[in-house]
């Protein structure tokens, strides 16, 4: 069957399943809309959490980043995976024990302050909207390629689909849809990797194939040699900018992951604290399947790309007129561009900007283009299209729910209109979600970076504003409302200012007043990595203000003790 027809069939079938689930699991109450009724099984929640967390950045963009950055791209693997362990061990069980619907609700109660709740809503919206912009970039890339339309049209179509099933189902519909999306995305990611690993190394397990040989040469040695022949840095050893920048970047991604509200609220959907711990463990298993495959996908994709357009690195590449079909298909999206600089009609791929004729190779296309480059069967290519779309849609839905919950439950019901009826609150949630889709889609037409880069900015904002206040809220009973508010405002403001002065206000590049130039970065730390610095300032200010003002009321301090101590531990201590 022709590729385009097969793609329509597979993607259309998966969309039909998602929409059917959303209709079947339509939310009828605010509890179902916010926390899916609170009775989801731990394994099902682990699967949904994995889909929620593994966004377009993980599926589409992460392997593309590693493919072009090599060792330097490993910050995404270490940061995102390590952050989930932090979340599972340090925060999720305690927040579940507290028993609230949303993160701002926890902060408002723990710090006995309406102001703290409002500031938390602002922090959540800023981080989540930035994150959704990254998902919109992924959605635009995937839809544009597989519907053979330009990026803007692809994004518009994606926005309509996200709007339909997110607004209808709430957390209940999103949870069951994400379980289906996890199954689609994990098969879509691993099956092509198995085929490509088998083709290149003879080993069907990609994780082992990465360390295997191609003939008499190890795959990674071969890749090192090929990229250096073209003038690029060695693939396996080159750090990202500097060791300090890599360390801070990894730390930002770790604590940013642990502070992401759309992942945290997933642990409110299980019935008990023990179920929250169990679902976190299951989620880690499901995530590890993709994350241990990604380095192999990245290395093999880079090697295949170079081998296809410039098989002999000592001379010019293939004639442009003979370029393969995958090349032509991606050119239509504008994400792959060639310019014949020397007029010889052949493709020259090089690290030298003056000689390089591949003037644009968007990193976000690598995973989606990889099966076509490797000439895999059409059904595998169609499956990858469905997987990429599933990853982007699943996380976008979770983020939109976090934003709408913050507006309708925390801001409207919690502060502005406490007497609002459940029916009107539900309606407000859906309107807020529709508004969030519109704003994120508008900004998605001019994203500040590639998908994973934009998402990294969101992690920085969550790291600097939400993570510290959650940690201090659970583990330090001396932190009071004044310290919490001052800390959140400091972390968020510093990070936003740093990002905006280098990337432009609201990511509009023309408004940048320092330019995104390394020589202007503080200690050489790039804007995407600045969240850890903002978090440190948050902690320092919160502690200083708290210890300079009155301690929290005794009942609040007792509540913090109760949340931290496991059930039954008190009796054991007394014994």
User: Which DSSP symbol is given to 233?
Assistant: P
Q: What is residue 575's predicted lDDT score, i.e. its pLDDT?
A: 47
Domain contains 187: yes
Evaluate whether residue 539 is within a structural domain: yes
Q: Tell me whether residue 573 is in a domain.
A: no
pLDDT of residue 535: 93
**Is position 181 within any domain?**
yes
φ, ψ dihedrals at 361, nearest 5° = -130, 90
Cα dihedral sign, 322-327-332-335: negative
Q: Given this model, what pLDDT does residue 152 score?
A: 81
Residues forming a β-bridge with 337: 360
The interaxial angle of helices 62-69 and 294-309, nearest 10 deg, is 60
Flag whether 571 is in a domain. Answer: no
State the burial class of residue 510 (Cβ atoms within 10 Å of its Cβ: 0-12, 13-18, 19+): exposed
Please report the pLDDT score of residue 165 as a whole number: 67
What are the pLDDT digits (tens) for 257-300? 887 777 777 777 888 878 888 888 888 899 889 889 999 999 99
Phi-psi region of 132 (alpha: psi -120 to 50; beta: other; left: phi over 0): alpha
Q: How many structural domains comprise the chain?
A: 1
Domain of residue 307 covers 3-413+422-565
Residues facing residue 346 across a β-bridge: 319
Collect the ranges in the chain with pLDDT lower than 50.
572, 575
pLDDT exceeding 90 applies to what percent of the chain? 13
CA atoms within 13 A on the CB side of 319: 2
Tell me, what's the pLDDT at 514?
67
Residue 270 forms part of a structural domain? yes
Residue 572 lies inside a defined structural domain of this protein: no
Q: Is 450 helix (H, G, I), strand (E, B) or coil?
A: coil
Report d(CA 27, CA 169) in Å as an integer: 5
In a domain, 465, yes or no: yes
Indicate the burial class of 407 (C-beta count within 10 angstroms; 0-12, 13-18, 19 or more).
Answer: buried
- What CATH number should be reported for the domain holding residue 274? 1.20.1730.10
């Amino acid at each position: 069957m022709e590729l385009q027809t097969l793609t329509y069939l597979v993607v259309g079938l998966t969309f039909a399943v998602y929409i059917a689930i959303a209709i079947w699991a339509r939310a009828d109450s605010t509890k179902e809309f916010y926390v899916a009724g609170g009775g989801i099984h731990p394994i099902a929640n682990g699967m949904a959490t994995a889909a929620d967390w593994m966004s377009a950045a993980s599926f589409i963009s992460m392997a593309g980043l590693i493919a072009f950055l090599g060792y330097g791209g490993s910050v995404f693997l270490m940061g995102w995976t390590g952050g989930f362990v932090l979340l599972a061990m340090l925060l999720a069980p305690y927040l579940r024990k507290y028993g609230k619907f949303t993160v701002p609700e926890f902060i408002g109660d723990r710090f006995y302050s309406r102001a703290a709740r409002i500031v938390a809503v602002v922090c959540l919206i800023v981080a989540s909207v930035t994150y959704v912009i990254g998902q919109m970039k992924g959605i635009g890339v995937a839809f544009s390629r597989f519907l053979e339309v330009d990026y803007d049209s692809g994004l518009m179509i994606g926005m309509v689909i996200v709007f339909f099933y997110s607004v209808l189902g709430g957390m209940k519909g999103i949870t069951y849809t994400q379980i289906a999306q996890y199954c689609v995305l994990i098969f879509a990611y691993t099956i092509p990797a198995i085929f490509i690993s088998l083709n290149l190394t003879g080993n069907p397990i990609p994780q082992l194939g990465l360390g295997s040989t191609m003939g008499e040469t190890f795959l990674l040695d071969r890749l090192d040699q090929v990229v250096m022949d073209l003038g690029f840095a060695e693939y396996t050893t080159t750090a990202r900018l500097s060791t300090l920048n890599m360390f801070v970047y990894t730390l930002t991604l770790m604590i940013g992951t642990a502070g992401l509200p759309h992942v945290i609220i997933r642990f409110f959907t299980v019935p008990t604290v023990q179920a929250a711990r169990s679902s976190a463990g299951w989620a880690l298993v499901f995530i590890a399947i993709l994350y241990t495959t990604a380095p192999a996908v990245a290395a093999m994709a880079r090697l295949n790309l170079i081998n296809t357009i410039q098989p002999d690195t000592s001379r010019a590449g293939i004639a442009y007129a003979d370029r393969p079909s995958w090349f032509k298909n991606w050119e239509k999206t504008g994400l792959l561009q060639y310019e014949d600089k020397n007029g010889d009609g052949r493709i020259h791929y090089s690290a030298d900007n003056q000689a390089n004729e591949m003037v644009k190779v968007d990193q976000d296309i690598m995973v989606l283009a990889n099966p076509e480059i490797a000439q895999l069967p059409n059904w595998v290519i169609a499956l990858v299209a469905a997987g990429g779309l599933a990853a982007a849609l699943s996380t976008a839905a979770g983020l939109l729910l976090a934003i709408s919950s913050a507006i309708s439950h925390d801001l409207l019901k919690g502060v502005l209109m406490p007497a609002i009826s459940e029916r009107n609150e539900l309606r407000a949630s859906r309107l807020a979600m529709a508004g969030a889709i519109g704003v994120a889609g508008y900004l998605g037409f001019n994203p500040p970076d590639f998908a994973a880069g934009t998402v990294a900015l969101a992690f920085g904002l969550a790291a600097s504003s939400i993570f510290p206040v959650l940690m201090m809220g659970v583990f330090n009973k001396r932190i009071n409302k004044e310290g919490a508010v001052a800390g959140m405002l400091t972390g968020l403001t510093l990070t936003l200012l740093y990002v905006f002065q280098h990337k432009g206000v609201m990511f509009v590049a023309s408004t940048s007043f320092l330019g995104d130039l390394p020589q202007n970065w503080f200690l050489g730390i790039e804007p995407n990595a600045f969240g850890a610095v903002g978090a440190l300032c948050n902690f320092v200010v919160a502690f200083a203000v708290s210890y300079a003002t009155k301690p929290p009321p005794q009942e609040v301090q007792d509540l913090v003790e109760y949340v931290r101590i496991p059930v039954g531990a008190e009796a054991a201590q007394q014994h």
